[in-house]
Structure 1
Amino acid sequence: MTSAPEGTSARYVELLEAAYRYVLDRGISELSLRPLATAIGSSPRVLLYLFDSKDGLVRALLARAREDELALLRSEAHGTLAEAARHVWSWLASAEHAPLLRLWLEAYSRSVIDPDGPWGEFARSTVEDWLAVLAAAQPPAVRRTARGSAERTLALAVLRGALIDLLATGDAKRITASVHRYFA
């Protein structure tokens, strides 16, 4: 469940959660208020009132997705950097997380293409989030060094590339073997 901005109503939270489930199933790039509102038992007018605009709703949905992503990544990233990367990969490769990860890829791509839109800083923020999760798996003395930064950046690049490959091909066996070999 989301941590709603201060002063938001229960209806805001309820509709945000319903909209989040909707975009996990259908994607967010082509989000249209009327079909969304119908599917979640609301109206476009109510959504515009609660979220200020369609862009405001998109930003709220992306923030909601980042909450889930971060909570789950943090729960998996433990041990050494290599162990954390393997644990994170196990989470990423799980079929049950595919809807969230497809949404992540869609939002990440749109953020890179349209950084001035509602996608804004999603890609940059996601990179920072993931690097922070990986940094927590490094000893403090290493974490603060250029070497430590380079190691977690490379780990992130491998995980992100493997995730994109997995989402494109569905070949979990091949990709998992490669990730495990890399982080061995």
Structure 2
Amino acid sequence: MTDRRDDLLRQAYAYALEHGLADLSLRPLAAAIGSSPRVLLFLFGSKDGLVRELLARARADELALLDQVRGGGLAEVAEAVWAWLAAPEHRALLTLWLEGYGRSLVAADGPWAGFARATVEDWLAVLADTGADRTACTLVLAVLRGALLDLLATGDVERTTAAIRSIMTEYGQT
């Protein structure tokens, strides 16, 4: 059963990356991944259970990135994170992340609850590993997140990358 569950979760994640989670309906999802709503409910307990698992998968992908960029100074880490964020192949994951982040800001419970806070803590932990103080880490995180929102809205990699480099230079981080 675990192999089938893992396979359906992998397929559901691919579906969510393409279609998002906001309007996720089990019938179209099940049809797209060769299953049934009943099987999905059996394996994940509920639609919320499935969404929770999909958000956990998105967070795991985010944590894998963060593990790859550990070990440098604040500017190095910020540049590495930005290079990953700006890569076109990550747009679907980042859009899904943004959806989860936004929904969690208004959800006191359910599958979205705590997602934004957890991701902030994840990112701050990586930035703190550089030895920078909490204020500098918070500033860099805010700049990265703001530039990411702009990038997702406009697709303008050149301008947003220039802004990241400019702010890092202005605050003496490069």
TM-score range for the pair, normalised by the shorter chain length? over 0.9
Q: Which residue of the partner structure matches residue 83 of structure 2?
A: 90
Instruction: Give the alignment partner of residue 99 of structure 2, picking from 106, 127, 136.
Output: 106
Q: Per-residue deviation at 1:74?
A: 2.1
In the alignment, structure 1 residue 159 sits paired with structure 2 residue 152: no
TM-score, normalised relative to structure 1: 0.88
Q: What letter is aligned with 2:32?
A: A
Q: Which residue of the partner structure matches residue 23 of structure 2?
A: 30
Q: Distance in 1 between matches of 2:71 and 2:93?
A: 21
How many residues are paired up? 169
Q: Distance in 2 between matches of 1:136 and 1:130?
A: 10
CA RMSD, aligned part only?
Answer: 1.2
Runs of 4+ in 1 over 4 A off after TM superposition: none
Gaps in structure 2 of 5+ consecutive residues: 170-174
Q: Distance in 2 between matches of 1:135 and 1:100?
A: 24
Asked whether the equivalents of residues 77 and 85 of structure 1 are also in contact (C-alpha less than 8 Å), the reply is no
Instruction: Give the alignment partner of residue 150 of structure 1, picking from 125, 130, 135.
Output: 135
* Secondary structure of the corresponding residue to residue 183 of structure 1: helix
TM-score, normalised relative to structure 2: 0.93
Q: What letter is aligned with 1:85?
A: A
Q: Distance in 2 between matches of 1:115 and 1:40?
A: 30
Instruction: Give the alignment partner of residue 129 of structure 1, picking from 118, 122, 128.
Output: 122
CA shift digits 1:1-60 (9 cap, x unpaired): xxxxxxx71111111100000000110111000000010111100100110000000000
Q: Which residue of the partner structure matches residue 61 of structure 1?
A: 54
Instruction: Give the alignment partner of residue 172 of structure 1, picking from 141, 153, 157.
Output: 157
Identical amino acids, percent of aligned pairs:
62
Gaps in structure 1 of 5+ consecutive residues: 1-7, 143-147
